[in-house]
């Protein structure tokens, strides 16, 4: 396992550098306008100029001012309050679902990329980022840190995370509520395929500690519109041996009704708990997640 003190092999660079590079591309692409965000009205406000010192990002140099003054200044933006953010990544079996319209990505893959992008962003903003991966219990807990090199640990954990097992969101959240006592932001990346009532109780537990919670509910487009035509044997990704043979055309309407009911319940529950719920689909641009986070970040403070 690589650390910041070890020499990085080519493979390491290729491997670990991939997600980081991806995350940086997503974030910088967002800011450069390559990735259009549906979250309108967001902007990072300019605060002041300060003299360039060695080590500053040369991309922050205001060349226009240099043209005027012949001195190097960097642009400084509105600094957000330093935030302790913990990303909770659902690695249960249901997150392994990979539809045909998600570009080959499972929900877990998508959530990993979102988590990486958000981690990069927050570290760039000198916020603290931590990571928790879980299924029926917490698999990995990386406490939040604000150093840039913490990204390696986070992306390493993300890279190694693979979905499987059942879901026990409620128990995990209760467990994490005890582990993350300090007030901060919790970013949940999950499909929330669990008992909603238990989940809301756990969220209420978090809210007692005055955590700000953002839930990115990850969906695959197939789960949202149930496009299957032929007779299909649905095999559970969480419980071994559980499968059902059904005519999708026959059950589609009922499934969608049930889906709507489920989503509505979660929405109501989150609203009651004053939890931000951001539905995301695996065919949706990652920049949407970035924009949503920044909007929420700004609102909180």
Q: For residue 79, give the DSSP letter.
A: P
Minimum CB distance to other proteins smaller for 45 or for 229 = 229
Q: Tell me: does residue 97 bind other proteins (CB under 8 A).
A: yes
Contact pick of 226, 265, 279, 295 for other proteins (by CB under 8 A): 226
Handedness of CA 149, 215, 173, 158 (dihedral sign): negative
In the Cβ-directed half-sphere of 172, how many Cα atoms lie within 13 Å? 24
- Work out whether strand 73-77 and strand 46-51 pair parallel, antiparallel, or are unpaired: antiparallel
Contact pick of 109, 135, 168, 220 for other proteins (by CB under 8 A): 220
3-class secondary structure, 248: helix
- The piece of 118-126, 171-179, 203-211, 221-229 that touches other proteins (CB under 8 A) is 221-229
- Nearest one of 210, 135, 136, 150 to 180, comparing CA atoms: 210
Q: Tell me: does residue 91 bind other proteins (CB under 8 A).
A: no
Contact pick of 85, 93, 152, 185 for other proteins (by CB under 8 A): 93
* CA atoms of 291 and 288, how far apart (whole Å): 5
Minimum CB distance to other proteins smaller for 11 or for 197 = 197
Q: Tell me: does residue 250 bind other proteins (CB under 8 A).
A: yes
# of chain residues touching other proteins (CB under 8 A)? 40
The CA radius of gyration of the chain, in Å to the nearest whole number, is: 21
Contact pick of 21, 28, 255, 296 for other proteins (by CB under 8 A): 255
Q: Tell me: does residue 240 bind other proteins (CB under 8 A).
A: no
195-216 residues labelled b (16+ CB within 10 A) or e (exposed): ebeebbebbebbbeeebbbbbb
Q: Tell me: does residue 66 bind other proteins (CB under 8 A).
A: no
User: Which residues, numbered 150-209, are part of the site for other proteins (CB under 8 A)?
Assistant: 191, 193
CB of 256 to other proteins, least distance (A): 7
């Amino acid at each position: 396992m690589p650390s910041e003190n070890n020499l990085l092999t080519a493979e390491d660079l290729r491997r670990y550098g991939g997600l980081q590079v991806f995350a940086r591309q997503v974030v910088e692409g967002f800011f450069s306008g390559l990735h259009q965000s549906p979250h309108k009205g967001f902007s990072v406000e300019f605060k002041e100029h300060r003299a360039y010192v060695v080590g500053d990002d040369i991309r922050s140099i205001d060349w226009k001012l240099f043209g005027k003054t012949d001195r190097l200044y960097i642009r400084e933006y509105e600094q957000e309050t330093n935030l302790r953010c913990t990303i909770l990544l659902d690695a249960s079996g249901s997150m392994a679902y990979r539809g045909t319209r998600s570009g080959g990505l499972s929900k877990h893959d998508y959530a990993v990329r979102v988590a990486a992008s958000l981690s990069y962003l927050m570290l760039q903003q000198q916020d603290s980022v931590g990571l928790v991966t879980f299924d029926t219990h917490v698999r990995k807990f990386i406490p939040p840190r604000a150093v840039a090199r913490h990204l390696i640990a986070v992306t390493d954990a993300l890279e190694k995370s693979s979905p499987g097992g059942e879901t026990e969101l409620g128990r995990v959240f209760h467990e994490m509520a005890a582990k993350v006592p300090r007030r901060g932001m919790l970013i949940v990346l999950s499909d929330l395929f669990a008992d909603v009532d238990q989940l809301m109780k756990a969220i209420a537990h978090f809210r007692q500690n005055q955590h700000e919670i953002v839930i990115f509910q990850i969906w695959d487009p197939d789960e949202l519109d149930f496009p299957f035509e032929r007779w299909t044997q649905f095999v559970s990704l969480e419980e071994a041996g559980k499968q059902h043979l059904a005519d999708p055309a026959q059950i589609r309407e009922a499934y969608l009704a049930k889906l709507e009911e489920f989503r509505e319940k979660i929405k109501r529950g989150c609203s009651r708990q004053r939890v931000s719920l951001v539905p995301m689909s695996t065919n949706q641009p990652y920049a949407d997640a970035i924009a949503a986070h920044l909007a929420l970040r700004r609102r909180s403070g």
